[in-house]
Chains A and B, each alone.
Chain A
């Protein structure tokens, strides 16, 4: 077999964990437990998790506002993630950052921007330091297709190419920039990959319903990057199963297409693979589901029972 059983089992477990975490976020949002907004990443998990399976321990991760729980794959716990989303003192930034600003420098998680695109520039800065300090780290920099219309992304990709920085730019193309679809707002079919040639970078396009295909492409490109060849682009074709934010009724798109797209399910597809290849059996998976469900319930309980930040601590962490 092409892959080690352990890698595939780990990938499946993480994919399932993040799927269930994203579903849990939707659930607790509906119950009114989240003070801010949730941009559910259900359906797009493989675009995030499969590349991260090629990650070395000290590599950097720059995520997005969608599939926020993917940060779990870097070692940040669900307790910390849910506590930050519920704005509690025990969150990664003690309730100051929220869902869009989960960061943990000791895990290589450099944070994300509320104004999308800026953080792509930040990500190439982490790659600049990796190259400068010769520490062998690379950067996994995720963006959505919508963010690729921001000038910051162009500036960052151009500079990364000129300086041959160790960055994998991953474009999660979920077809929608809030309500705006490709046909009206993006000049090429693949906003990440088609433009890569303009920066002299290699690119691969894969479908996000096939986690192993995403892994293969990410492995090929990260090997290329680790060899010192400079940045590369991985574009993962997905479909945003839910609204831009929870509460978005998606009146701007065809429900039948959405239902059809739900059948392209990265978790179900990998589940079939692990069963067919005898990597896991149905009992293993059932046990795994129960364990993850318990972990998530405990994370929500941890977050709910955690203290609020002390109002008198409002200026902590501000230096000017």
Chain B
């Protein structure tokens, strides 16, 4: 069955709502509108207004109340619309979601999912285009998931809803309309497991979200020039599948990390540091990072394109290692 990314999100939520009465959906424009990217389309119609609710524009109260609902017996799957608006609820996400299970002792479960549309999407501008995994990766306690395709999105969102730990789920805006053949039967993907999206021998490209697609395009170009890329998609930013990353880099001896957020303090900084600390002797070249420029993402499309990573930038970074 061929489904779009947005349809897969909606299907994942609906399937979990059918198997578990305590799952409910609320957030900005999720009900009558079905989400501004149509990722909750059909849920109100099937489950009614008790289990699918559009909220006021109150990100703090959406996340905060989801924490309270989660610890008292529900499994809320909430939406904040743009990931940029996570910053309105930063306190709730960083302190409360991340820390409260640890701070408040056993008997405390926080089964909640916070979904957001993230990433650049051609002129959305500096405050509607961010990918913020790197900010939340600094917060111990949060599970962070960023799928890169339709199949992973559905399987990982179902796993997120079933998890007893709070999950931030990042859905790239440019992926919503992409389509893919996925199984009709129920499937769940493991949290904390990376996926090798392309096998290779000369260099490991670790890429996140939409950047996985860019890395695969770059890998095609590099193959034509005789460089074999292994593309590793962590899928789960936290907990990070360190073992898979170290294993791949130990095989290829080179590594490029590609992310969409800006370079300074990004995921690449963390992972490059971890790789050199753990397997310095395996490296034939420094770990390279490809990320957005350290600039508020401009509105102008030419400037935007200049800022974000693309396959050519990835190709150049890989070639620089040889």
Tell me the minimal C-beta distance from A105 to chain B in angstroms.
5
Residues of B within 8 A of A183 (CB): none
How distant is the Cα of A110 from the Cα of B141 in the complex, in angstroms?
A: 18
**0 or 1 for each of B176-217: is its CB under 8 Å from A? (1 = yes):** 000000000000000000000000000000000000000000
Tell me the minimal C-beta distance from B308 to chain A in angstroms.
28
Q: Does A88 contact B (CB under 8 A)?
A: no
The answer to whether A101 and B103 touch across the interface, beta carbons within 8 angstroms, is yes
**0 or 1 for each of B284-315: is its CB under 8 Å from A? (1 = yes):** 00000000000000000000000000000000
Whether A129 touches B107, Cβ cut-off 8 Å, given contacts A118-B91, A152-B64, A318-B141, is no
Q: Does B219 contact A (CB under 8 A)?
A: no
Q: Does B250 contact A (CB under 8 A)?
A: no
The answer to whether A118 and B58 touch across the interface, beta carbons within 8 angstroms, is no
What's the tally of chain A residues with a CB closer than 8 Å to chain B?
Answer: 43
A92, A113, A114, A125 — most chain B CB neighbours (10 Å): A125
Q: Does B47 contact A (CB under 8 A)?
A: no
Residues of B within 8 A of A120 (CB): 64
Residues of B within 8 A of A3 (CB): none
Chain A residue, CB-CB nearest to B240: A320
**0 or 1 for each of B97-116: is its CB under 8 Å from A? (1 = yes):** 00011111111100000000
Residues of A within 8 A of B66 (CB): 125
The answer to whether A126 and B104 touch across the interface, beta carbons within 8 angstroms, is no
Residues of A within 8 A of B143 (CB): 319-320
Whether A319 touches B55, Cβ cut-off 8 Å, given contacts A122-B67, A129-B68, is no
Specify which of B58, B71, B96, B101 is in contact with A317 (CB 8 Å cutoff): B101
Specify which of A106, A114, A121, A318 is in contact with B68 (CB 8 Å cutoff): A121
Q: Does A202 contact B (CB under 8 A)?
A: no
Residues of B within 8 A of A300 (CB): none
How distant is the Cα of A118 from the Cα of B103 in the complex, in angstroms?
A: 15
A105, A110, A122 — most chain B CB neighbours (10 Å): A122
List residues 99-113 of chain A with CB under 8 A from any CB of chain B: 101, 103-106, 110-111, 113
**Interface with B: A156-164, A223-231, A244-252, which one?**
A156-164
The answer to whether A121 and B105 touch across the interface, beta carbons within 8 angstroms, is no
Residues of B within 8 A of A123 (CB): 68
Q: Does A93 contact B (CB under 8 A)?
A: yes
Chain A residue, CB-CB nearest to B98: A320
Tell me the minimal C-beta distance from A58 to chain B in angstroms.
10
Residues of B within 8 A of A105 (CB): 71-72, 107-108
Specify which of B56, B60, B107 is in contact with A118 (CB 8 Å cutoff): B60
The answer to whether A156 and B65 touch across the interface, beta carbons within 8 angstroms, is yes
List residues 61-86 of chain B with CB under 8 A from any CB of chain A: 61, 63-74, 76
The answer to whether B68 and A159 touch across the interface, beta carbons within 8 angstroms, is no
Q: Does A128 contact B (CB under 8 A)?
A: yes
Tell me the minimal C-beta distance from A123 to chain B in angstroms.
6
What's the tally of chain B residues with a CB closer than 8 Å to chain A?
Answer: 44
Specify which of B63, B73, B105 is in contact with A92 (CB 8 Å cutoff): B105
The answer to whether B105 and A129 touch across the interface, beta carbons within 8 angstroms, is no
The answer to whether B64 and A126 touch across the interface, beta carbons within 8 angstroms, is no
How distant is the Cα of A129 from the Cα of B67 in the complex, in angstroms?
A: 11
How distant is the Cα of A126 from the Cα of B72 in the complex, in angstroms?
A: 6
Residues of A within 8 A of B104 (CB): 92-93, 97, 101, 103, 111
Tell me the minimal C-beta distance from A247 to chain B in angstroms.
24
Q: Does A133 contact B (CB under 8 A)?
A: yes
Q: Does B24 contact A (CB under 8 A)?
A: yes
List residues 264-303 of chain A with CB under 8 A from any CB of chain B: none
Tell me the minimal C-beta distance from A120 to chain B in angstroms.
7
The answer to whether A126 and B58 touch across the interface, beta carbons within 8 angstroms, is no
Chain A residue, CB-CB nearest to B163: A319
Q: Does B265 contact A (CB under 8 A)?
A: no
The answer to whether B239 and A96 touch across the interface, beta carbons within 8 angstroms, is no
The answer to whether A97 and B68 touch across the interface, beta carbons within 8 angstroms, is no
The answer to whether B92 and A121 touch across the interface, beta carbons within 8 angstroms, is yes
**0 or 1 for each of A81-92: is its CB under 8 Å from B? (1 = yes):** 000000000001
Tell me the minimal C-beta distance from A168 to chain B in angstroms.
15
Chain B residue, CB-CB nearest to A98: B103
Tell me the minimal C-beta distance from B16 to chain A in angstroms.
16
Tell me the minimal C-beta distance from A109 to chain B in angstroms.
9
The answer to whether A124 and B72 touch across the interface, beta carbons within 8 angstroms, is no
Specify which of A97, A106, A128 is in contact with B65 (CB 8 Å cutoff): A128
Residues of B within 8 A of A125 (CB): 64-72, 76
The answer to whether A122 and B68 touch across the interface, beta carbons within 8 angstroms, is yes
Q: Does B218 contact A (CB under 8 A)?
A: no
For this complex, 16 residue pairs linking A to B, each with C-beta atoms less than 8 Å apart, are: A97-B105, A106-B107, A111-B71, A119-B96, A121-B65, A122-B65, A122-B71, A123-B68, A125-B67, A132-B74, A156-B60, A158-B56, A159-B55, A317-B101, A318-B141, A320-B144
Q: Which residues of B contact A (CB under 8 A)?
A: 22, 24, 50, 53, 55-56, 58, 60-61, 63-74, 76, 91-92, 95-96, 100-108, 140-144, 164-165, 238-239
A-B CB proximity, top 10 nearest: A125-B68, A121-B64, A125-B65, A93-B105, A155-B61, A103-B104, A122-B68, A155-B58, A97-B103, A125-B69
Q: A93-B103, A118-B64, A125-B69 are in contact. List 12 more A-B contacts (CB 8 A).
A: A92-B104, A101-B103, A105-B107, A110-B72, A127-B68, A128-B69, A156-B61, A159-B55, A162-B56, A318-B140, A319-B101, A320-B142
